[in-house]
Amino acid sequence: GNVLTSVVVTYSKDGAAATTLLNDTTDDGAWTTLLGIALGDGAYELSFVATDEVGKTTSFIRNVVIDTAQPTLSITSPVASELVDTSSYTISGQVTDNLGKGVTALEYSLTGAFATEEVTIPLSGLNWSVGSVDFSGGGEGAKTLYVRATDGLNGYVTQSTSFNYDTAVPTVSETIIN
């Protein structure tokens, strides 16, 4: 029943001190921010306080994450041009969403055909690994490992590394010269 005399919105980014985003002291129904700029990626706590003409207030807080960037992904094993000589290999690397929403999917493929042959990598912090990976499909020779990650908000980021797979013992033959 009473007229609003002010609506104040403050935000705190990543736990920093609160900054006023809106301080509207007119009851014209239009809100505009004081900053006039985008807030950027990060975790925000938004505080809303409305005050009526007799000084009564209503307030609430909302937590919001703005995340416009893909995760960062690397493969640490195997490294480029490594010689892999076992059919039970541990692949590893690192993945982070850099203070974003968080990585929601991490997968690998030995062909790059994620739609038909991806294998889920368990999420457990920055470092990831999968043991007992068998590279023997398709025989020995040059191979490529593909890994991809997403935070569910932005597209997949994909990394790959090429290496050589060789488990066969060398063959030696002798030629008799007369």
Terminal alpha carbon distance of the chain:
114
- Round to whole Å and give the CA distance between 107 and 147: 6
Tens digit of pLDDT per residue, the chain (178 long)? 678 888 888 999 888 899 888 888 776 666 666 555 667 888 889 999 999 889 999 999 999 888 999 999 999 999 999 999 998 999 999 999 987 889 999 999 999 999 888 899 999 889 999 999 999 999 999 999 999 999 999 999 999 999 999 998 888 888 888 7
pLDDT of residue 157: 97
